[in-house]
């Protein structure tokens, strides 16, 4: 499977390359990633089947941030029950950007939860699959399965 692709920004029309190590089980031809253009820094959705493999030829193109497949785990903000929702995303975002963009609503079914059965807005607390690249600006220290420093002030972080 190819890892380096050429794509065109949906906003400014510039061509650029992206790296995407695809897990064939979790990334199919209908998968969609949200990526950032290195020229105009606008974000857009990119369908996997529309990517053009680079195939060894070197072009003088800008390089986008690497795309990862990440499984986000959401915990109940009321009772702290872990894993009330899990979402698979394909993204080039740092943890801070991803955590702020991927809030959604879900329901906790924990018998002792004060918000049981009610819709709650939740943000991801950790990831079970994939690693957010610590070399990207603003990523901090983050590894799969560990809490991110600052993701929730009531939780202890790994150092």
How many domains does the chain fold into?
Answer: 2
Residue 139 lies in a domain: no
Q: Give whole-number Cα distances, 132 to 56, 126, 145, 151, in Å.
A: 26, 11, 11, 14
Element (H, E) at 65: none
Whether the pTM exceeds 0.85: the reply is no
Residues 48 and 81 in one domain: no
pLDDT per residue over 55-94, tens digit each? 766 678 888 988 888 888 889 999 999 998 988 888 888 8
> What's the pLDDT at 150?
40
Whole domain around residue 45: which residue ranges? Answer: 4-63
CA distance 50 to 20: 13
Residue 154 lies in a domain: no
Residues 84 and 57 in one domain: no
Residue 17 lies in a domain: yes
Residue 52 lies in a domain: yes
Residue 143 lies in a domain: no
Q: Give whole-number Cα distances, 159 to 13, 119, 146, in Å.
A: 42, 33, 10
CA distance 106 to 55: 42
**Looking at the DSSP assignment, which residues form a beta bridge with residue 34?**
45, 91
Residues 58 and 78 in one domain: no
pLDDT truncated to tens, each residue of the chain (159 aa)?
568 889 999 999 999 999 887 777 777 778 888 899 999 999 999 998 888 888 766 678 888 988 888 888 889 999 999 998 988 888 888 878 887 777 789 999 999 999 999 999 988 887 766 655 444 333 333 333 333 334 444 443 333
Residue 15 lies in a domain: yes
Q: For residue 138, which phi and psi values (nearest 5 degrees)?
A: 85, 5
72-96 burial: b if 16+ Cβ within 10 Å, else e: bbbbbbbeebeebbeeebbbbbbbb
DSSP state of 140: -
């Amino acid at each position: 499977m190819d890892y380096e692709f050429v794509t065109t920004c949906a906003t400014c029309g510039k061509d650029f390359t992206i790296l995407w190590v695809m897990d064939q089980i979790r990334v199919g031809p209908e998968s969609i990633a949200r990526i950032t253009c290195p020229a105009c820094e606008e974000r857009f959705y990119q369908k996997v089947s529309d990517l053009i493999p680079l195939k060894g030829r070197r072009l003088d193109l800008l390089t986008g941030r690497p795309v990862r497949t990440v499984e986000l785990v959401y915990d109940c903000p009321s009772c702290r029950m872990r894993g009330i929702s899990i979402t698979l995303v394909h993204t080039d975002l740092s943890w801070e950007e991803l955590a702020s963009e991927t809030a959604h609503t879900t329901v906790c079914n924990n018998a002792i939860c004060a918000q049981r059965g009610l819709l709650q807005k939740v943000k991801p607390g950790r990831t079970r699959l994939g690693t957010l690249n610590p070399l990207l600006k603003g990523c901090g220290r983050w590894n799969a399965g560990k809490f991110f420093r600052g993701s929730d002030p009531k939780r202890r972080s790994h150092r």
